[in-house]
Amino acid sequence: MRAPPELPAGHSPAWVVQCWISFVASIGAMILGIYCLPDGGWVKGFLAMGLLFTVGSSLSLAKTVRDLHDATRLTARIDEARVTKLIAEHDPLKPAI
């Protein structure tokens, strides 16, 4: 019997920390930039709302892409298990019915 396929290695802790630091730094820089604008409250509010919408839609997109990839991978593993079972149960010397 064949060994199950190995899953890809997860992200290293350093990569996860770097991703979070860059995310927080970019949001912080945008908030500071919006705060320091010489314009009135309406412009700052509009830009802040746009920033929040962009962050939210980016997180939703990332989750959707990840979920689609995981579903494809799971479907491929199920199909591979079915084929393996059929091959294991097949007897070439058994007469056809």
Contacts of 43 (CB under 8 A, 6+ apart): 37
Which pLDDT score is estimated for 72?
77
The answer to whether residue 68 scores a pLDDT higher than 90 is no
Q: How many domains does the chain have?
A: 1
Mean pLDDT of 57-76: 83
Give the domain extent around 56: 13-89
Judge contact between 47 and 37, C-beta under 8 A: yes
Residue 7 located in a structural domain: no
Q: Which pLDDT belongs to residue 73?
A: 75
50 in a domain, yes or no?
yes
Sorted by sequence, the CB contacts under 8 Å of residue 80 that are 6+ apart come out as 5
pLDDT grade, residue 34 (50/70/90)? very high
Asked whether residue 74 is assigned to any structural domain, the reply reads yes
